[in-house]
Amino acid sequence: MQAALVGVTGYAGMILYQLLKNHPNVEQVHIYDHKISKNAPLSEVAPIFKNDSSVVAPYDPTTIMGADDVVFFATSSGVTSQLSAPYLEKHFPVIDLSGDMRLKTEQAYEKWYHKHSAPTAALQAATYGLAEFDSVKDATYVANPGCYATATLLGLAPLVQKHLINVKSIIVDAKSGTSGAGKKLSASTHFTEANDNLQIYKPNHHQHIPEIVQELQKWDSNVTTLQFMTTLIPVTRGIMSTIYAQVNPGVDEQTLLAAFHDTYDDQPFINFTGTDLPTIKQVVGTNNCDIGIAYNPETRFVMVDSVIDNMLKGAAGQAVQNLNALFGFSKTAGLNLQPALI
């Protein structure tokens, strides 16, 4: 197949390009950029690929739909909401790594993001693509989940789907490395601020909160809100979502362990580690989500430890999972990755 990639200069776009170049079912990757007006060498647009002879072409939806079978958008927030219409009209497959099409109403976007360019009808036509749970087989436009949302939802799914917890008691303490903020410079990600430091940011206002709640409501309509806090930690890649919730009467540790095994034992990218709590380092460089739990019978609270590589399972890797599901490829095609051991 022929794949188009719009946006190769950001971290997620660069990693996605590498994954697609090595995907057994992708014959060629065509790169497009909405900021250029004529063809340019990839080595100039993204100097990290200095030995790659590929060319980056100006963005044009007609060219993309004529030459390619699918288009990936690894663009900044606010871009694809302006570009989605022709693909939706032609039912052309899109996998969008930005947050522009994840929520279902313009009002939600204006509250959590910014003024939105796509109408509500377009938003509702997009399919949220949490790869382990949302079928994208018949989708046209796939909204790839956010990184915090992926780690948190995978940690909560067995508990919420099987109604094992009081959903009003959920508290999430999520921590991310600096690559999650993207390439744009900011005071908080400056080495002097990030190194040897922990920084809470966007308290109660992180843009991934509404998509987490939106997905949880599919599993339990009693979910109305979420206590969610984010912390920047001094690592490059990785997310740890630490989740707390009070279990319902009659639920014990064995019930909890069985629920996670039942949900995930047949999922190739989810490793349930039981009461052996995972670390970020064991998933960096992979498309895996490792999950462990600790149950306190005195407080009747369960703690879930969910870790991912934010650039892979939280972005480019999950996008390839959705590609595989969309086109009927093997679940693991292009994703046989090994962790960065040191």
Active site residues: 147
Rounded Cα gap, residues 9 and 191, in angstroms? 21
Calculate ∠ Cα 185-191-193, nearest 5°: 95
Burial class (CB within 10 angstroms; exposed 0-12, middle 13-18, buried 19+) of 37: exposed
Look up residue 165 and give its DSSP letter: B
Rounded distance between C-alpha atoms, residue 149 and residue 147, angstroms: 5
Ranges assigned E (strand) in the chain: 2-6, 28-33, 40-41, 55-58, 70-73, 94-96, 127-128, 141-143, 171-176, 199-201, 227-232, 239-246, 270-272, 289-296, 301-308
Neighbour-count burial for 108-124, b at 16+ CB within 10 Å, e otherwise: bbeebbeebbbeeebbe
**Closest C-alpha among 183, 122, 219, 196 to residue 311:** 183
The pair of structure tokens assigned to 229 is 């806090």
What the block records as the tokens of 157 is: 């799914």
If you ran DSSP here, which 8-state letter would residue 52 be given?
-
> Does residue 39 contact residue 296 with C-beta atoms inside 8 Å?
no
Q: Which residues of 57-71 are buried (b: 16+ CB within 10 A; e: fewer)?
A: bebebeebbeebbbb
